[in-house]
Chain A
Amino acid sequence: MIFTFILNLVVTILSIIFSGLPKVTTLPTINGFDIDSTLLTGVGDLNTVFGTFWYLRDFFYGALVLLTYYGIKMLLKAVLGSRAPGLH
């Protein structure tokens, strides 16, 4: 009950703070470059290709996992430097 209350309290406070700010429905257009449409089209194209060439999607997800690993590793090195455990 206490944790639920704290959780609801935190969410309520955050909601009060941020609900007044504008809602983001699309990514902005910068210098005429519509980021939202470009991303939507690009991901849609990828989904079209991946829908047929399903193995590319599997490779893509594998690459994402590896990139995430290297991203976490870089973050740890940046924060902890040489004290980062197990990192060369």
Chain B
Amino acid sequence: MITRKPLLLSILPLLLFLAVYVPQARADTGQTDDSSISSQTTSGATGIYEVGNNFTGLMTDVQMNMNGNTGSIGDWTMAVFDMVGYTDGTYATTTGDSCVSNRNDNGATINGPFLLSGGNTSRGDGSNVPSVGFGTNGCNLQASEYYKLSISGGSTGFGGQMFFRGSSSLPSGVTSISNDFTGIAIPYFIIFGASGGFNPTPPPDTSTHIATVTPLNGSTNATSTAFTFGATGYVSPDNYISGATNVIVSFSNAGFASSQMVGPIGAELQQPDNSLTFTFPVTNSGSFSFSTTTGVQVIGNYTLKTSITVPQYTLLGFNFFTKTLAATSTVFVVATSTAFGTLQQAVAEQYQQLISTASSTIDTSVCNPISGNFNITACLIVVFGFPSQSDLNTAYNQFQTNVATHQPWGYFNRFFTILTSTGSTTLPTYTAYIGTGGSTTMDVITVDPGDMIAGAGTVLNGVVDPQNGMNIRQIMEPFVLLMVALGVLFTILADLLGSHRHNTHQQHGSKTAR
């Protein structure tokens, strides 16, 4: 007997495959893709970084020389990238051609405005020395910016010796810094500051991440009708899903219970749990920068949550569930009122009191026998009923403002306010001075707990299970909370029941009987 499968059933796996993967076609970023450069820096960049370390002045000339290389090394290029905005964790644009105008490529092919030199270099005897000049010929380097020189290409890697030279800016007595990159496959790159030496800067982060948020974490602000909220960051091409990638910024008043806050009146954030959310669609992978304005008239302690999200599943063009690629939670304080904010608050407060008074008298007609609306049950409820939630809130706010914050209760109130605050600080660094044997100099060891925190944060909060999109915290915290709750519960129960204590009276009695 031959069993025939329906045609649709046979091709169902193929349809599912197409439905899931085809809509996730990555959009072209239109930006320089530097991931291939940064991902290979570990193999050969250490020596190059040393140039940056020793570099003390403006680098006006960089040369790449293939000394002793007599064979063909294949095609190669030398490019200059501007790193404007690198402090945001991204480097966005390339420089103009003016920054490479001092080149000496000995006739090698120039393939583009950012391409210093390229071609098949057949000899490395010094006569063929491609070089690039910075800070000259109209190239305006900015002291606050970082620049990156990138060398790429070469099918087998450079043989012999290659060195970089700062013609007029190396430390005294140092004419060149050589590095033997024999057998090391390029590309690698050098990062330098326009104004001179700086500590090695880590390679740019081209992973999906949130670089900055506005307002800044821990910042103190005044009330405003045009408060700016925003975020910058990067969405890698691998994570980007066209038309379904969003940056979500939401903020809530986390410190409403604090006595130091002026009660929020008539705002969206009247209660601590209420939040206001902005969703910014990401139209391309790569760097993003979003901002918007809204009125924040309420003094308070705010929590700002920012996340990059994509759909968990895509089926037949429809998106299901949401997966968070990156998320941050920061705080900011709105501590002072502008004159307009104070006026607006005062007006809103009076308005709310008026509404509160009106609402408390609106039902009194049920107690009037000649009103035609008389209802004895409703009248009893109106007269003896428990205060409404709004009445309680008003009384609570008034109590907080006029009683709890004043002496002597104010000290307790302030104490609990601090204990319940959500603001974080930067942990201090620790420095130890250690004298080595027989030496008159001291070695200095500086420990920054922030590095440990950042590293742990990467593991605990940054590593995401690819199957369900949840990080370690999201997976493990329910179990940790359950364990803590059970531990606390059993400890209290054991203490109440006395089950963990030995009955000393009974033991004493049995000894006596014996």
Contacts and interface: CB of A to CB of B under 8 A. Distances in A.
Given A1-B385, A36-B418, A62 B485 contact: yes
Nearest to A41: B425
B398 interface: yes
Contacts of A11: 395, 398-399, 402-403
A-side interface mostly: helix
Which of B260, B329, B409, B410 is most buried by chain A, counting CB atoms within 10 A of its CB?
A: B410
Contact of A26 (B414, B419, B492): B414
A88 B398 CA distance: 42
B460 A52 contact: yes
A53 B456 contact: yes
Given A24-B413, A69-B492, A54 B403 contact: no
Interface residues of B, number: 57
Interface in B412-438: 413-415, 418-419, 421-427
Contacts of B442: none
B399 A21 contact: no
Interface string B158-182: 0000000000000000000000000
A47 to B, nearest CB: 4
A65 B477 CA distance: 18
Interface size class of A (residues with CB under 8 A): 35 or more
Contact of A44 (B383, B425, B477, B491): B425
Given A48-B425, A49-B453, A3 B386 contact: yes
Interface string B455-499: 011001100000000000100110011001101100110011010
Contact of B391 (A4, A47, A48, A65): A4
A55 interface: yes
A32 to B, nearest CB: 19
Nearest to B331: A47
B477 A14 contact: no
Contacts of A39: 415, 418-419
A66 B398 contact: no
Interface string B390-405: 0110010011001101
A53 B409 CA distance: 34
A2 B453 contact: no
Contacts of B498: 88
A22 B488 contact: no
Interface string A11-55: 110110011011111111000000010011101110111011111
Contacts of B440: none
A62 B398 CA distance: 32
B383 A1 contact: yes
A82 interface: no
A87 B388 CA distance: 38
A36 B453 contact: no
Given A40-B421, A48-B424, A14 B402 contact: yes
B418 A40 contact: yes
A73 B496 CA distance: 10
Contacts, number: 139
Contacts of A48: 424-427, 453
A30 B360 CA distance: 48
A75 interface: no
B387 interface: yes
B238 to A, nearest CB: 26
B395 A21 contact: no
Contacts of A23: 405-407, 410
A45 B386 CA distance: 43
Given A23-B410, A24-B407, A66-B492, A44 B456 contact: no
A52 B453 contact: yes
A15 B461 CA distance: 46
B424 A1 contact: no
Nearest to B482: A58
Contacts of B383: 1-2
B19 interface: no
Given A3-B386, A24-B405, A43-B419, A51 B414 contact: no
Interface string B352-390: 000000001000100000000000000000111111100
Contacts of B477: 54-55, 58
Contacts of B514: none
Nearest to B259: A24
A28 B411 CA distance: 9
B511 interface: no
Nearest to B501: A88
A86 B421 CA distance: 36
7 contacts: A22-B406, A25-B405, A28-B411, A47-B422, A62-B488, A66-B488, A86-B496
Interface of B: 260, 329, 360, 364, 382-388, 391-392, 395, 398-399, 402-403, 405-411, 413-415, 418-419, 421-427, 453, 456-457, 460-461, 473, 476-477, 480-481, 484-485, 487-488, 491-492, 495-496, 498, 501
Given A7-B391, A23-B407, A66-B491, 16 more contacts: A1-B360, A8-B391, A14-B403, A15-B402, A18-B407, A21-B406, A21-B407, A23-B405, A23-B406, A25-B410, A48-B425, A51-B424, A52-B453, A54-B460, A62-B487, A66-B488
Nearest 7 interchain pairs by C-beta? A24-B410, A44-B425, A15-B402, A62-B484, A47-B424, A48-B424, A4-B387
